[in-house]
Amino acid sequence: MVRMAGVSKRYGTVPALLDADLVIERGELLAIVGPSGSGKSTLLNIMGTLDRPTAGSLHLDGYDVGSLGDRELSALRARTIGFVFQQFHLAPGVPVMENVADGLLYRGIPRGRRREAASRALHLVGLGHRMTHRPHQLSGGEQQRVAIARAVLGDPPLLMADEPTGNLDSHAGAVVMDLLRSLHEAGTTVVVITHDRDIAASLPREIRLKDGRIVSGARR
């Protein structure tokens, strides 16, 4: 699913990621872990094609990302990756159904079909009974599950979750992690970026970063 070779990223003279080699196979569930400033966000941005590396190569779903123009890259990202962030990024005052359905707004899909897809995704995350509620009427854990429903709306083969439990209490965080494991069991490749060592240790594979370098990627 992902192959990085010798990837580095500098912002001016400041190195954020150094000579990263990483392979993520289809269907994996893994954690990327490290302290603040270790390069986790930079790695996420490059792997998610939100930023381009200064050096090295990235292949995503068989495509050489460096050979793609911006429009081609946007299309690859849209069909390949679902993003879940620590902040839920839900539109306030807008029903949950529309918050999720709007994830397909720019694909030219008619409103009725967008809503059907949103309903399926919300039932998948256990929120079929909350579709008419507004975000402020939901708990933090439920809002994160809405964000996950939006991320998996188009059945992307790769789901990238950046600190998905960071704003949640331990119970809500456990529910979200169980949901991510269920999506993995259904065939989605799931990458969880986290500073929580307990979460990282609970997953089958852990990639550890320090000072912009991948220092450990052992399989257990």
What CATH number corresponds to the domain at position 55?
Answer: 3.40.50.300
pLDDT tens string 106-148: 777 888 999 999 999 999 999 999 999 999 999 999 999 999 9
Residue 59 CB neighbours (<10 A): 16
Mean pLDDT of the chain: 92
Q: To the nearest 10°, report the CA torsion of 77, 83, 87, 88.
A: 110
What tokens does 196 get? 């929580």
pLDDT tens string 11-55: 999 999 999 999 999 999 999 999 888 999 899 999 999 999 999
Q: Which residue has the higher pLDDT, 197 or 7?
A: 7
pLDDT tens string 139-179: 999 999 999 999 998 889 999 999 999 889 999 999 999 99
Total domain count for the chain?
Answer: 1
List the domain range (segments joined by +) for residue 6: 2-216
∠ at Cα 66 (63, 70), nearest 5°? 90
Q: Taking the model in full, what pTM does it have?
A: 0.91
